[in-house]
Structure 1
Amino acid sequence: MNLSGFFSFVFTLLILHFEVGKAFNCRGPLKTITVRQSGKAQFKTIQSAIDSVSNKTQNTRWIRIKIFPGVYRQQVIISGLQSCIYLEGAGSKSTFVEWNGHDTPFTTPTLISRADNIVAKGITFMNSHNHPLDGGEARLAPAEAARIEGDKCAFFECAFLGVQDTLSDHAGRHYFHKCFIQGAIDFIYGNGQSIYEECTLFFSVGADLPKGRGGVFTAHRRESEEDPSAFVFKNCNITGNGKAKANLGRGYRSHSRVIIANSYLGDVVSPAGWDPWRGKNNVQDLTFVEEGCWGPGSNKSKRVPWMKRLSGSALRRFVDKTFIDQQGWIARLPVKSSS
């Protein structure tokens, strides 16, 4: 083997080692620690409970952080080594996490989750910077309620509240079940490979949006045909407060991909439905799909002419959980959503 071949071989081994290292499964038994602002519990803040999980070496044991009812006004950060954490709230109407960050993506979010194998259930994550919603244009700025960067992460019955860039579905395979996501501009955005099932997307505005920044539900960041990512919405409820209309999505990059299937579309949806934005010079590479939808916003007669059609196995490829779960990681999570 010549020298260049040797280095190529070593480089390949390093890549394989890295990928195998990342593809671990969390082990049991489940360890539980508790958070309560006042009263008997092991921790008073969510962050102090997370900080008790080592970030020196990769955590591989499921740790449930049981969070009692209350309004926790703090930023929550999970580092890349703090995997296998299950944040269990008392319900999205009882456990609230609020923060007021804005503009800078690495300091803005109420929740920053960088680790793989993270689960949350029954928690509301809110970025209060742009609230109240009728505060006018002067307050409007990117202000994320959550930024999800890890792989194999799931959210059950959670709420994400914001106005601009509410949920940064940044990267990795993600599953959202029965979640409520509220915003006005690009409020689900990123490069995630994600399924949203039985979720409610709520477009909420109280003042005119700045010129050129009209209402948009999604902004998917896919840059090539080889990129496997997409936002998939199945059996969802897409609605709003009736004060304005919004597009279902826009091309954040040249190959943006959003599939909406078997969902209710309220009259909040604009007739055109979709905006090419940064993909305007190559609309043929954008994949924006609506199939099996109903409701007053589902009329496709005035949709953009380059909207795609999918059916049969081509559609099932995305709406089936195997799109994100060929390895069966969802079934191994330490939580099940209520039916």
Structure 2
Amino acid sequence: MISKLLFSILLLESASSSVIPNGSDGSVVIEEAYLNWLKQVGSFKHSLFQKAKNKFKPCLTIRVDKNPRLGNFVMVQKAIDSLPAVNLCRVVISIGTGIYREKVEIPATMAYVSVEGAGADKTIIEWNDTADRMGQNGQALGTYGSATFAVNSPYFIAKNITFKNEAPSPPSGALGKQAVALRISGDTAAFIGCNFIGAQDTLYDHVGRHYFKDCYIQGSVDFIFGNGLSLYQGCDLHAITNSYGALTAQKRDSLLDETGFSFVNCKVTGSGALYLGRAWGTFSRVVFAYTYMDKIITPPGWTVFYGQYKCYGPGADFGGRVTWSRELTQQEAEPFTSLGFIDGYEWLMNL
């Protein structure tokens, strides 16, 4: 956890400002530096990302079904393995009703893959790996390798499907129990009407630009984490902890990293006491806008800088927030609340 004083020092490194003492603990709030920083990170053109050119018209449709007479394959990974190692056209893998107990991975060269379920409550892909479980090489899988479903390729699309890690929720302080339901490590990925079910570290929003719309995400500790540049619209974020948990852990390590999570028109509910976010990276960046927050949100809300804009509900009261977080103005919030945040006008408009 980064302290208020350390965060103020980091801001001093990025922008000049007068220092205004605030409180008996010797910490400081650097208002001008903060505003300059916010203006800078909100105006990035994402120069580190290539211009996105998506493909939506399918060249091939593959059917996966538990009944071999109704599909081309009975397992999702078998359908993926049937594709060319270097895939250059949109392939739709239609997955029928059922629970598919398997671990799935899409390699980095296999672009333009879509998986479409019969409904998030009907089509479920599940496994139960944890970070401390031994892999085939005799070493622990780690958080990265614990994912039930892992995507390494660009232009991935998922619709109406559940990704689940059914490992039980670990006791407080347990080590090696991270259990990822889905890891997205490819650029320009979209998830529409999907469920992500797990406990600790449910959704590994690893790297790349990502879009989540009308999704349900369930977990206990850090259940949305990583260093992606991602927009969550209309999503239901549900905590299942009986003690303390954290919704997000965003790993932005540099002021120049063009990453962050933005939650717009979402809903935060569940049990226990929940921090909206904790800092995994030194310059962790998360914004909530127009979001309902239930009473489970702890009054401080954040463990480092984060922002919120026009959120509501019993957990949204900004009066008790830590002093180094901020209620954003309309101008400050605007860069984070549209598809432009993830360059979505380039690669999402025909989805």
TM over 0.5: yes
For 2:78 and 2:308, locate their aligned partners in 1 and report how far apart those are by CA, in whole Å: 43
Match of 1:237 in 2: 267
Percent sequence identity over aligned pairs? 38
Contact 1:129 1:139 in 2 (8 A): no
Structure 1 residue 105: Cα displacement: 2.7
The alpha-carbon deviation at position 26 of structure 1 amounts to 2.7
CA distance in 2, matches of 1:53, 1:254: 40
Q: Identify which of structures 1 and 2 has the higher relative contact order when contacts are C-alpha pairs closer than 8 Å and 6+ apart.
A: 2
* C-alpha distance in structure 1 between counterparts of 2:79 and 2:154, whole Å: 18
Instruction: State which of 63, 85, 89 in structure 1 corresponds to 2:113.
Output: 85
Aligned equivalent of 1:177 = 213
* CA apart distance, 1:309: 3.5
How do 1:112-261 residues align onto structure 2 when only pairs under 5 Å count?
112-130=150-168, 133=169, 141-206=177-242, 208=243, 214-241=244-271, 244-261=272-289
Report Cα offsets for 1:36-77 as digits up to 9, x if no partner.
01132101100001111112x2x1211000000000000110
Counterpart amino acid of residue 82 in structure 2:
S
Q: Which of 96, 102, 105 is equivalent to 2:143?
A: 105
Cα deviation digits, residues 77-98 of structure 1 (max 9, x gap)? 0000111011000111000010
Give the superposition deviation at 1:269. 0.3
Partner of 2:98: 70
Give the gaps of 5 or more residues in structure 2: 1-47, 132-141
Instruction: Say whether the 8 Å CA contact 2:212–2:233 is kept in structure 1.
Output: yes
Equivalent residue for 1:52?
A: 82
| CA deviations over 1:175-217 (Å, ceiling 9, x no partner) | 00000000010000000100000000000125x5xxxxx3000
In 1, are the aligned partners of 2:77 and 2:104 still within 8 Å (CA)? yes
**Offset, 1:302:** 1.1
User: What is the Cα deviation at residue 273 of structure 1?
Assistant: 0.3
**Residue correspondence of structure 1 range 21-60 to structure 2 within 5 A:** 23-26=52-55, 28-38=57-67, 39-55=69-85, 57=86, 59-60=87-88
The match for 2:346 is 328
Mapped contact 1:170–1:189 kept (Cα < 8 A): yes
Provide the residue aligned with 2:318 in structure 1. Answer: 300
Equivalent in 279, 283, 308 of residue 290 of structure 1: 308
| CA root-mean-square deviation | 2.0
Q: Which runs of 5+ in 1 are unaligned?
A: 1-17, 209-213, 277-285, 334-339
* 1:101-129 superposed Cα distances (whole Å, 9 cap, x missing partner): 11113421011000000000111111011
Maintained 8 Å contact 2:213/2:234: yes
What is the TM-score normalised by the length of structure 2? Answer: 0.79
Q: 2:27 maps to what in 1? A: none
Partner-residue secondary structure (3-state), 1:294: coil
- C-alpha spacing 1:322/1:134, structure 2 compared with 1 (3 Å): closer
The answer to whether the 8 A contact 2:269-2:293 is kept is: yes
1-structure distance, mates of 2:229, 2:100: 30
Secondary structure at 1:245's aligned position in 2? strand
The offset of 1:31, in angstroms, is 1.8
- One-letter code aligned to 1:77: E
Q: Is the 8 A contact 2:251 2:279 kept in 1?
A: yes
Contact 1:25/1:60 (CA < 8 Å) preserved in 2? no
TM-score with structure 1 setting the length: 0.82
Alpha-carbon shift at residue 30 of structure 1 (Å): 3.9
Query: Hey, what's the Cα distance between the residues in 2 that align with 1:221 and 1:189?
Result: 7
Secondary structure of residue in 1 paired with 2:94: strand
> Which residue is 2:333 aligned to?
315
DSSP-derived class of the 1:47 partner: helix
Mapped contact 1:134–1:205 kept (Cα < 8 A): no
Distance change (3 Å), C-alpha of 1:257 and 1:139: closer
